[in-house]
Every structure is written in structure tokens, then in C-alpha cells.
């Protein structure tokens, strides 16, 4: 193969790679902008929202009415992390113990949200 053909093929491959990468990045950026706009609109509107999330109970503080839960992503609100959530009722704390895998419902106007329901998930 002549040198100029190799140079042309390498340049063509680079151009295709850059165009493809830019197109994929552009689609992701557009999707993230839409999600951000929805989250901002909901936060500004003061609209009560509800999320159903899975996690693991790490600590229970009955005197503070708080559950510490390691949870997955809460779509449109926050990434996965471990944090404390206020509970709407002391009975919610009585229904679980430390180490339980749970599915729980969060309800409220961000950032003032509380656990309104919680259910133990079946162990596998």
C-alpha cells in the first residue's frame, strides 16, 4: 500500500471517530439539559413530588425521627448515596431494622422530603 493511501485511510478513520463521538456527546448533552430543565421547573414550582426508591437501612434514630439509608439514584433529585431521611410517622421506623433491604416512598417539596411508606424487600 502506498504511503498516501495509508494517510488517507488514517485521516478518514479519525474524522469518522470524531464525528461519531461528537454526535453521541451531543445526544447525551441534550438529554441531560431536558432532565435538568424538568427538575428546575419542578423545584421552582414548589410542586410536591413522589419517588419510589430502593435501599438498605443503615441506622435508625427514633429520637430524631430519622432513618439513615443507602439508596440508589432518585431520578430528577439526587444520585445514589447514604443519607438520613425524616419519616412521616414513628411507625415507619418500627417496621424496619438495621440491615434490611427496603423499598421506600419519598414525598415532599424538595428539599423538604420525608419517607411516607417503607416495605422490606424479599431476601434472595
Instruction: Dump pLDDT digits (tens) for 101-120.
Output: 999 999 998 788 999 999 99
Domain ranges for the chain? 1-47, 49-120
81-87 and 66-71 beta bridge pairing? antiparallel
Q: Of the segments 3-12, 50-59, 70-79, which one has the largest average pLDDT value? A: 50-59
Task: Supply the mean pLDDT for the chain.
Answer: 89
* Rounded Cα gap, residues 112 and 48, in angstroms: 10
Homologous superfamily (CATH) of 49-120 is Copper binding periplasmic protein CusF (2.40.50.320)
Amino acid at each position: 500500500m502506498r504511503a498516501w493511501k495509508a494517510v488517507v485511510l488514517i485521516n478518514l478513520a479519525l474524522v469518522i471517530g470524531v464525528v461519531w463521538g461528537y454526535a453521541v456527546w451531543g445526544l447525551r448533552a441534550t438529554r441531560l439539559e431536558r432532565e435538568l430543565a424538568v427538575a428546575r421547573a419542578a423545584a421552582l414550582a414548589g410542586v410536591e413530588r413522589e419517588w419510589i426508591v430502593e435501599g438498605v437501612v443503615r441506622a435508625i434514630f427514633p429520637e430524631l425521627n430519622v432513618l439513615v439509608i443507602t439508596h440508589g439514584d432518585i431520578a430528577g433529585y439526587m444520585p445514589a448515596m447514604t443519607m438520613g431521611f425524616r419519616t412521616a410517622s414513628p411507625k415507619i421506623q418500627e417496621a424496619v431494622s438495621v440491615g434490611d433491604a427496603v423499598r421506600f416512598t419519598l414525598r415532599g417539596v424538595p428539599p423538604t422530603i420525608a419517607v411516607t411508606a417503607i416495605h422490606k424487600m424479599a431476601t434472595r
